Amino acid sequence: MPIRSGPVYEVTLFVDRDAVAACDQWLDAQVHASQLEAGAAHYHVFSIADDDKGRAGRVCQLRFCSDQALETWLNDPGASIEGYIASHFRDSASASGRVLRADPGHDIPPSETPNCLNCGAQLRGQFCGSCGQRSQSRLISLWELIRDAFGDLFEFDSRLWQTLVPLLLKPGRLTRDYLQGRRARFMPPFRMYLVMSVIFFVVAFFDPREEFGLLFEPASDAALATDSSGPGIIFNGSGADEAEDDCNIEADDVVGLPAFLERRLSVERLKQVCEQIVADKGQSLAAKVIDNTPAALIVLLPLMALVMKALYPLSRRYYVEHLLFFVHFHAFMFLLLTLEILLARLVTLLPVAEAVMTVSMVAVSLYIPAYLFVAMRRVYGQGRFVTTLKFVPLAFAYITGFSVIIVTTFLIAAFSI
């Protein structure tokens, strides 16, 4: 029969090798003698895996008869195992405690005390007290395998959904909660940013006919001949003639440029880049721009955090807090634009597709600046008038920075094809 008694107070210790013997002696003598008198019905100490510093691991568990007995013991300053470790061993050891309560549905019978398959610690419940891994050693069904892989999608109380809803509908909520210490319920900010950016670029630019061409029927020869992106424009000689006509660059075109650019933008190099762009109708350039844009947008984040730092000099916020604000804002934009693209593809099936898209694009164009304004008020706590005075230069700086980043990305892409 599973154990059915009161709560357990568990202390996890990591002790330097030269202090292990003294610590074990104290645990065996003083704690064993005194804590049983304080209402503990059961006492047990066992070893666990060393930590990353090479210190020996120990777990001390005190099972109490009732919650009242545990409360009485916790209120006794002299009973604190963590306090004794801190005062007697100082830097040679560290200890942390927690209260464990019985899980009637998953208790392990006393005769079954297996070790954790991940870290080797002795198990005393559904989860390992050392590393947190579930004690279950095998998958019960195919559904559990699927749930383990896509649990955050199927469980509506998961961190994924608890993050996406406020990210989209509650401007500044995630940033404010994170800065106030409420973090465990949400996805980490930079992980969320990366996930949202990857999803956006996949939805926006992934072409299944290009990536999985083998799965689609090939186009007819006539279609290939008239396709502007097909090889006919190169092989029949017209592409070369067109490139020569459009790429007639003279030396005077690069006169007056800064020395840094003049050394790199020679006439020969400009003609080579131009001919390549004309030859494939800009496909190589577009691909390079798409590849470089995610990295370029990451560069924009710290620049905008500097602007925000300048706009709020008296806020006493660290630079990284302003950076966090724009990490959340960019993640919101990726999410919103992804939904807009999916809506655009869906409404093409409707007879009023054009009207629906017009309304949705206007709504998105208005929602993004409104979201930024409300987020600034919620995170920085200033009134509408003061926030407006800061919103205008921030919006101007953002548009300017975004334009510079995109132009730079375009130039880098053009001279790397």
Q: What is the CA radius of gyration of the chain?
A: 32
Residue 38, pLDDT above cutoff 90: no
Residue 8, pLDDT above cutoff 60: yes
Give the residue from 122, 138, 154 where a domain finishes: 138
pLDDT at 362: 93
Same-domain status, 82 and 123: yes
Handedness of CA 211, 213, 216, 220 (dihedral sign): positive
Instruction: Give how many domains the chain has, as a whole number.
Output: 2
- On whether residue 264 sits in a domain, the answer given is no
pTM above 0.85, yes or no: no
- Which is more confident, 4 or 134? 134
332-354 pLDDT, tens digit per residue, is 999 999 999 998 888 887 777 78
Q: Which structural domain, as residue segments, surrounds residue 307?
A: 166-205+284-414
Same-domain status, 321 and 183: yes
Same-domain status, 26 and 78: yes
What's the rounded Cα separation, in Å, for the pair 329 and 150? 26
Helix/strand/coil for 96: strand
- On whether residue 152 sits in a domain, the answer given is no
Q: How far is CA 101 from the centre of its chain?
A: 32
Tokens 């050394």 belong to which residue?
263
Tokens 């990490």 belong to which residue?
327
Same-domain status, 196 and 308: yes
Strand partners, 8: 63, 100
Same-domain status, 192 and 323: yes
What's the rounded Cα separation, in Å, for the pair 60 and 81? 9
Same-domain status, 310 and 390: yes
191-217 pLDDT, tens digit per residue, is 889 989 989 988 888 776 666 666 666
Same-domain status, 348 and 302: yes
Same-domain status, 333 and 378: yes
Same-domain status, 5 and 123: yes
Phi first, then psi, for residue 48 (nearest 5°) are -130, 175
- On whether residue 258 sits in a domain, the answer given is no
- On whether residue 221 sits in a domain, the answer given is no
Amino acid (1-letter code) at residue 204 = A
- On whether residue 251 sits in a domain, the answer given is no
- On whether residue 59 sits in a domain, the answer given is yes
- On whether residue 242 sits in a domain, the answer given is no
